[in-house]
Amino acid sequence: MTNVNTEKLSSARFAEATDAFVEVFTASVTFDQRMAMQDIEGSLAHAAMLKECGILTETEFQDIVRGLTEIGQDILDGRFDWSIKQEDVHMNIEARLTDLIGVAGKKLHTGRSRNDQVATDIRLYLRSEIREITRQLTRLQTAVLDQAERHADTIMPGFTHLQVAQPITFGHHLMAWFEMLARDRERLQDCNKRLNVMPLGAAALAGTSYPIDRELTAELLGFSRPSANSLDSVSDRDFAIEFTATASLIMMHLSRFSEELILWSSAQFDFIDIPDAFCTGSSIMPQKKNPDVPELVRGKAGRVTGHLVSLLMLMKSQPLAYNKDNQEDKEPLFDTVDTLINCLRAYADMVPRIGAKKDRMYQAAKRGFATATDLADYLVRKGMAFRDAHEAVGLAVRLGIDTGRDLSELTLAELQAFSPLIEADVFDSLTLEGSVSARSHVGGTAPDTVRKAVRAARQALA
């Protein structure tokens, strides 16, 4: 293990040592060390800029690069000795750098503050994590498209109020999931635009008197530009809140998917089979197969939404500029990232292996008079006003309920009792296949339309 200087780098101002409890209470190194590699990345760019501006010599710069590279490797190898006394990831790395290279290590902090340093680290961290989140989201979207294409012809009941409404295809239902995820992807990309602005160089709050080149640092770190106002740069965490809001929307969508998977896998629906690898059994009931992954994802949606509320409350009453409150931004943010990535990964692994029970879906679509709207549309095409058609079909449905038959099982004579406009061709409109095929407009449930939607989605995702 390496040894870190235990004397605080910022302790000269104080006449007495920090209380032992307060030292632990105020330290963030136990969780912000997660940003260690981003901290090193930012420091390397900052040092390169200082050298180009003549603030560091070439020798000092090379010593800093050598020291930070060694520290980074120690961290990756688990050899770095983190110290509570140094409070946070930034001071731990700086203290160790000074141990390794001497005075040059103390010069690294020229022209910056921990305030702009941490704001930069968080942005670098989130930018990297958004790339991984997008990767997992793309895996899930691809899995949904594969299933939608496979089941473009699979008929199932569509629901409103969880009551059978109209027949649709399972592929069409899955493409609704895809559209939700596509909007989530767009929100992530949009969030990343505002995230990708560099605070470094704002220093504590007012900027710095050193002749720094913020445009150069931004270029080295891959930011679109440096931030426009030093006070705002270190004050706000709206970019973290926006990301967590986006994450909350993704989790809300995953929670809705989960609810449907849970219902569909129940004995009462029995529409799908969730692979055993994503389920667990009961400690007392040997027949049980519990959809634990969807249930847990549904539960974790509340956890992420809670983090969003936490961050909003964290910021709502803070005066400008930096306040210690902002130390509380990291744990909910980190947990949001972990939770979202894990849930997306679980779904991306699970969705390709979900099996659809086509016969069960088909039989369910035949119940609940799912083609009633088709009969009304048939009458409208024959010249009847829609409201009159609605009433006539309602009476036909009542007969079906009373006799325990679907509309397609009523005789032509029985149907004609509700309107003389009904002819023998009515039964073409009352089949499930006819119903879904008739909805062939853009966004409709017809099998060919679903296949076109899948092809377009694949091109957009590529």
Active site residue ranges: 161, 282
Q: Are 36 and 89 in contact (CB under 8 A)?
A: yes
Q: Which residues pair with 197 in a beta bridge?
A: 225
Q: Which of 107, 103, 33 has its CA nearest to residue 71? A: 33
Dihedrals φ, ψ of 357, to 5°?
A: -95, 90
Question: Which secondary-structure segment (H or E) carries 272?
Answer: strand 272-273
Distances (CA, A) of 5 to 38, 91, 276: 22, 10, 52
Q: Is 5 helix (H, G, I), strand (E, B) or coil?
A: coil
Q: How many alpha carbons lie under 13 Å from residue 140 in its C-beta half-sphere? A: 29
Q: Are 237 and 329 in contact (CB under 8 A)?
A: yes
ω into residue 36 within 30 of 0, thus cis? no
Which two tokens mark 429?
């409109």
- Which amino acid is it at 61? F
Q: Are 169 and 111 in contact (CB under 8 A)?
A: no
Q: Name the DSSP class of 35.
A: G
Q: Are 111 and 203 in contact (CB under 8 A)?
A: yes
